[in-house]
Chains A and B, each alone.
Chain A
Amino acid sequence: MPEQSNDYRVVVFGAGGVGKSSLVLRFVKGTFRDTYIPTIEDTYRQVISCDKSVCTLQITDTTGSHQFPAMQRLSISKGHAFILVFSVTSKQSLEELGPIYKLIVQIKGSVEDIPVMLVGNKCDETQREVDTREAQAVAQEWKCAFMETSAKMNYNVKELFQELLTLETRRNMSLNIDGKRSGKQKRTDRVKGKC
């Protein structure tokens, strides 16, 4: 029903098992309608405002693609935004993102105009190997944003993608979930007072 505007490619990087797929799935399930199919019908169309949830996210999950460096380069050069996922339960998964980050900088020239988000997934787990401060320091060094998520608990997932788009200053984009987000904030604050 809604029509397309921008295809917007978000590329998700991360070592095996850090929860890239579940993060993406959780998000896609929660927010996204079916991807756009070019109209071939010559009939009447419903019309909604073009600033509403019509940006199609193309999420490229690069699982295992380190075996194909060419593919990795291609997804970087075509990507509009990047999510670098590690698991807070594995220090190594954070370390493995270093080369990918360098490759992004190399291909894109600099990351200053590009939304890049470092994401510590599985923050619900108690067996941590990477604490929040440690990851924040990496993000600072990389001049990118940082967030902790839990795909399992659906914690910070919508917020992650929303934040990523907020980082994108050159395009006027919105997933149309800000309303809900602030609503949720209001809601929970209120409930705490009541009980």
Chain B
Amino acid sequence: MDNLSDTLKKLKITAVDKTEDSLEGCLDCLLQALAQNNTETSEKIQASGILQLFASLLTPQSSCKAKVANIIAEVAKNEFMRIPCVDAGLISPLVQLLNSKDQEVLLQTGRALGNICYDSHEGRSAVDQAGGAQIVIDHLRSLCSITDPANEKLLTVFCGMLMNYSNENDSLQAQLINMGVIPTLVKLLGIHCQNAALTEMCLVAFGNLAELESSKEQFASTNIAEELVKLFKKQIEHDKREMIFEVLAPLAENDAIKLQLVEAGLVECLLEIVQQKVDSDKEDDITELKTGSDLMVLLLLGDESMQKLFEGGKGSVFQRVLSWIPSNNHQLQLAGALAIANFARNDANCIHMVDNGIVEKLMDLLDRHVEDGNVTVQHAALSALRNLAIPVINKAKMLSAGVTEAVLKFLKSEMPPVQFKLLGTLRMLIDAQAEAAEQLGKNVKLVERLVEWCEAKDHAGVMGESNRLLSALIRHSKSKDVIKTIVQSGGIKHLVTMATSEHVIMQNEALVALALIAALELGTAEKDLESAKLVQILHRLLADERSAPEIKYNSMVLICALMGSECLHKEVQDLAFLDVVSKLRSHENKSVAQQASLTEQRLTVES
């Protein structure tokens, strides 16, 4: 270290004179000093100003270019040296050296560029401008099938360089993808699966690129799924597996890749992991169990992959997942319930599962999570029940199994995801089930909670579902008692507001419920209807050209029904309904036109 400053001085002179022998000696000396103390040596190198001289030593004719590149690679390990390297104009000659045929030169150049790009915007953009990425990708492509150790080392460095070049930078990632790096990397992974360092670097590079949405289509057209699963099966170490998981998770967001992963046998690996780790309390095992079961659920989000794994409800995967639900492990319970919820995505699957006792299993699970329960498990189990309650023939079966009672235990929950799914389940269950709708509609506790949630403006989903359930209770029960309960709990104003929802379906559900109220319990509800300004809203809906035909039709039906109330009738008279209604007689929709005539007659007669 003492003679480092001498060396640097000497180097300054010799670099200019290009007296080769002494130059070599000086460079060796620098490399030695760097090996001893990289940071301190780098500081001195920067202070001496010889960085600027390096550019001239990197020419293709220079005999010591590999050594100089090596020195640059070493100094660029320090963050403070990266921008100086760019400023010293080293990037362009380094990128030129990538065209060399000499393996050592390529290796040191790749290292130097890779380290300069590490976490450095300046480094990356300089390499980008010099066009370095394309040359490296071309090398990878032409060298990818050579398996001697020296070549594999070079490939590893090049992968690392591309990784550092594009890390955290969307546009450079996109650039690499456009240059076609993905198929080459997948090929590398397949050919060099025995080389741990290279394999690891490929995985890191994949992880980097897989986050970009546009990469997934390209990945889907390679055999990445197969290669990754093959690799995964060989790994026993936790860290390596986690690395593969990190690539798998973003890739598995693509439906085509989901199916490929299922076909490559990933699910079997995941089930095995779960089996191995379920009783362990080691942190690594717990993480792996979570990652594995999460990935399992992710695979079930694709329609095709889900159906393939269901195998008519007889598949071993489905059976295994089923066994997770009664387990004592929350993560498995969660994954099991989510899996069932996702298997429950068509009528055939739902009917099969309900016939085979899934409802009881889910109810048992929910029952274990009532007091101080796990919110994610509650949400997952309720989501499963909601989907299962969609086929008509399942509703009666689920009602007689006591699903409503089980679900109502969560009415006191303060968690919006749980509230949301609780509401969804009840709404699906009572669809066209008059008796159940009447029973629930007379449940004061439920109705009061619904009214409360109708105002939950912070949670659009909860608000929408409670409004819809309120309307559904009336529409499916057609019960005076239900209407009275809802009036008493203050629900009328929400139904009126719902008539102005941005969704036609919800508007219509509100109008139908209001028409039933007007037909069955107008006297009970008229005060609330009046203060909620229903008549004015109906006028607006009829006058607005954008209102859907069914909204116009039902608004007119409702107007006629409201005339039975003195105060509301008076409001109708005060607004110019005849004008808007008579215009609708020529509406292109026949039902609307017909109803307009009827309503017009009614308005004329009653005025």
Among A44, A124, A154, A180, the one with the most B-chain Cβ atoms within 10 Å of its Cβ is A44
Q: In angstroms, how far is the closest chain A Cβ from the Cβ of B119?
A: 7
Q: Which residue of A lies closest to B168 (CB)?
A: A154
In this assembly, does B281 line the interface, its C-beta being within 8 Å of a C-beta of chain A?
A: no
Q: Which of A35-43, A69-77, A91-99 has 4 or more CB atoms under 8 Å from chain B?
A: A35-43
Q: CB-CB < 8 A to A7: which residues of B?
A: 458-460
Q: In angstroms, how far is the closest chain A Cβ from the Cβ of B159?
A: 9
Q: Which residue of B lies closest to A80 (CB)?
A: B458
Among A7, A48, A49, A124, the one with the most B-chain Cβ atoms within 10 Å of its Cβ is A49
- CA–CA, A1 to B301, complex, Å? 10
- CA–CA, A39 to B390, complex, Å? 15
Instruction: Establish whether residues A195 and B460, one from each chain, have CB atoms under 8 Å apart when the complex forms.
Output: no
* Interface set, chain B 418-458, CB cutoff 8 A to A: 418, 420, 424, 428, 431, 458
* Interface set, chain B 441-481, CB cutoff 8 A to A: 458-461, 463-465
Instruction: Establish whether residues B200 and A180, one from each chain, have CB atoms under 8 Å apart when the complex forms.
Output: no
- CA–CA, A7 to B464, complex, Å? 14
* Interface set, chain A 146-161, CB cutoff 8 A to B: 153-155
Instruction: Establish whether residues A51 and B376, one from each chain, have CB atoms under 8 Å apart when the complex forms.
Output: yes
- CA–CA, A45 to B77, complex, Å? 50
Instruction: Establish whether residues B167 and A3, one from each chain, have CB atoms under 8 Å apart when the complex forms.
Output: no
- CA–CA, A49 to B384, complex, Å? 12
In this assembly, does A172 line the interface, its C-beta being within 8 Å of a C-beta of chain B?
A: yes
Instruction: Establish whether residues B249 and A195, one from each chain, have CB atoms under 8 Å apart when the complex forms.
Output: no
In this assembly, does B143 line the interface, its C-beta being within 8 Å of a C-beta of chain A?
A: no
- CA–CA, A44 to B200, complex, Å? 40
Q: How many residues of A contact B (CB 8 A)?
A: 39
Q: CB-CB < 8 A to A40: which residues of B?
A: 464, 503, 505-506
- CA–CA, A188 to B160, complex, Å? 10
In this assembly, does A4 line the interface, its C-beta being within 8 Å of a C-beta of chain B?
A: yes
Q: CB-CB < 8 A to B201: which residues of A?
A: 191, 194
Q: Which of A36, A186, A187 contacts B208 (CB 8 A)?
A: A187
Q: In angstroms, how far is the closest chain A Cβ from the Cβ of B249?
A: 7
- CA–CA, A186 to B164, complex, Å? 13
Q: Which of A4, A45, A154, A192 contacts B169 (CB 8 A)?
A: A154
* Given A48-B301, A172-B375: A4 and B294 interface contact (C-beta under 8 Å): no
In this assembly, does B111 line the interface, its C-beta being within 8 Å of a C-beta of chain A?
A: yes
Instruction: Establish whether residues B163 and A6, one from each chain, have CB atoms under 8 Å apart when the complex forms.
Output: no
Q: CB-CB < 8 A to B249: which residues of A?
A: 179
Instruction: Establish whether residues A49 and B334, one from each chain, have CB atoms under 8 Å apart when the complex forms.
Output: yes
* Interface set, chain A 87-135, CB cutoff 8 A to B: 124
Instruction: Establish whether residues B164 and A191, one from each chain, have CB atoms under 8 Å apart when the complex forms.
Output: yes
Instruction: Establish whether residues B460 and A45, one from each chain, have CB atoms under 8 Å apart when the complex forms.
Output: no
Instruction: Establish whether residues B114 and A47, one from each chain, have CB atoms under 8 Å apart when the complex forms.
Output: no
* Given A7-B460, A187-B163, A188-B167: A47 and B200 interface contact (C-beta under 8 Å): no
B contact patch SS: helix
Instruction: Establish whether residues B342 and A47, one from each chain, have CB atoms under 8 Å apart when the complex forms.
Output: yes
Q: Which of A1, A47, A180 contacts B341 (CB 8 A)?
A: A47
In this assembly, does A54 line the interface, its C-beta being within 8 Å of a C-beta of chain B?
A: yes
Instruction: Establish whether residues B334 and A3, one from each chain, have CB atoms under 8 Å apart when the complex forms.
Output: no
In this assembly, does A25 line the interface, its C-beta being within 8 Å of a C-beta of chain B?
A: no
Instruction: Establish whether residues B197 and A194, one from each chain, have CB atoms under 8 Å apart when the complex forms.
Output: yes
- CA–CA, A162 to B35, complex, Å? 39
Instruction: Establish whether residues A191 and B416, one from each chain, have CB atoms under 8 Å apart when the complex forms.
Output: no
Q: CB-CB < 8 A to B167: which residues of A?
A: 184, 187-188, 191
Q: CB-CB < 8 A to A137: which residues of B?
A: none
Q: In angstroms, how far is the closest chain B Cβ from the Cβ of A80?
A: 10
Q: CB-CB < 8 A to A155: which residues of B?
A: 168
In this assembly, does B361 line the interface, its C-beta being within 8 Å of a C-beta of chain A?
A: no
Q: Which residue of B lies closest to A37 (CB)?
A: B460
* Interface set, chain A 37-70, CB cutoff 8 A to B: 37-40, 42-51, 54
- CA–CA, A36 to B338, complex, Å? 20
- CA–CA, A50 to B415, complex, Å? 10
* Given A3-B420, A3-B461: A154 and B170 interface contact (C-beta under 8 Å): yes
Instruction: Establish whether residues B121 and A153, one from each chain, have CB atoms under 8 Å apart when the complex forms.
Output: yes
Q: CB-CB < 8 A to B403: which residues of A?
A: none
Instruction: Establish whether residues A46 and B345, one from each chain, have CB atoms under 8 Å apart when the complex forms.
Output: yes
In this assembly, does B563 line the interface, its C-beta being within 8 Å of a C-beta of chain A?
A: no
Instruction: Establish whether residues A45 and B383, one from each chain, have CB atoms under 8 Å apart when the complex forms.
Output: yes
Instruction: Establish whether residues B417 and A3, one from each chain, have CB atoms under 8 Å apart when the complex forms.
Output: yes
Q: Which residue of A lies closest to B334 (CB)?
A: A49
- CA–CA, A190 to B167, complex, Å? 13
Q: In angstroms, how far is the closest chain B Cβ from the Cβ of A27?
A: 13
Q: CB-CB < 8 A to B161: which residues of A?
A: 195
Instruction: Establish whether residues B156 and A44, one from each chain, have CB atoms under 8 Å apart when the complex forms.
Output: no
Q: Which residue of B lies closest to A190 (CB)?
A: B204
Instruction: Establish whether residues A4 and B115, one from each chain, have CB atoms under 8 Å apart when the complex forms.
Output: no
Instruction: Establish whether residues B208 and A48, one from each chain, have CB atoms under 8 Å apart when the complex forms.
Output: no
Instruction: Establish whether residues A4 and B461, one from each chain, have CB atoms under 8 Å apart when the complex forms.
Output: yes
* Interface set, chain B 128-174, CB cutoff 8 A to A: 156-157, 160-161, 163-164, 167-170
In this assembly, does B387 line the interface, its C-beta being within 8 Å of a C-beta of chain A?
A: yes
Q: CB-CB < 8 A to A48: which residues of B?
A: 297, 301, 338
Q: CB-CB < 8 A to B460: which residues of A?
A: 4, 7, 36-38
In this assembly, does B216 line the interface, its C-beta being within 8 Å of a C-beta of chain A?
A: no
In this assembly, does A5 line the interface, its C-beta being within 8 Å of a C-beta of chain B?
A: yes
Q: Which residue of A lies closest to B384 (CB)?
A: A47
Q: CB-CB < 8 A to A43: which residues of B?
A: 390
Q: CB-CB < 8 A to A44: which residues of B?
A: 344-346, 387, 390
Q: In angstroms, how far is the closest chain B Cβ from the Cβ of A61?
A: 20
Q: CB-CB < 8 A to B503: which residues of A?
A: 38, 40
Q: Which of B157, B197, B380, B463 contacts A47 (CB 8 A)?
A: B380
Instruction: Establish whether residues B157 and A195, one from each chain, have CB atoms under 8 Å apart when the complex forms.
Output: yes
* Given A43-B390, A47-B384: A191 and B461 interface contact (C-beta under 8 Å): no
- CA–CA, A49 to B382, complex, Å? 12
Q: CB-CB < 8 A to B285: which residues of A?
A: none
* Interface set, chain B 99-113, CB cutoff 8 A to A: 110-111
Instruction: Establish whether residues B246 and A179, one from each chain, have CB atoms under 8 Å apart when the complex forms.
Output: yes
- CA–CA, A79 to B316, complex, Å? 49
* Given A47-B380, A172-B375: A188 and B208 interface contact (C-beta under 8 Å): no
**B292-320 toward A: CB 8 Å interface, digit per residue (1/0)?**
00100100010000000000000000000
In this assembly, does B73 line the interface, its C-beta being within 8 Å of a C-beta of chain A?
A: yes
- CA–CA, A94 to B171, complex, Å? 31
- CA–CA, A172 to B417, complex, Å? 12
Q: CB-CB < 8 A to A5: which residues of B?
A: 415-417, 420
The 4 tightest CB contacts between A and B, nearest first, are A38-B464, A50-B417, A47-B341, A50-B379
- Other A-B contacts than A45-B386, A50-B415, A195-B164, 10 sampled, CB-CB below 8 A, are A3-B461, A5-B416, A38-B465, A47-B342, A48-B297, A124-B121, A154-B170, A180-B211, A187-B204, A195-B161
Give 8 A-B contacts (CB < 8 Å), ordered by A residue.
A44-B345, A45-B386, A45-B387, A46-B342, A50-B417, A188-B118, A194-B157, A195-B111
- B interface residue numbers (CB < 8 A to A): 73, 77, 110-111, 114-115, 118-119, 121, 156-157, 160-161, 163-164, 167-170, 197, 200-201, 204, 207-208, 211, 243, 246, 249, 294, 297, 301, 334, 338, 341-342, 344-346, 375-376, 379-380, 383-384, 386-387, 390, 415-418, 420, 424, 428, 431, 458-461, 463-465, 503, 505-506
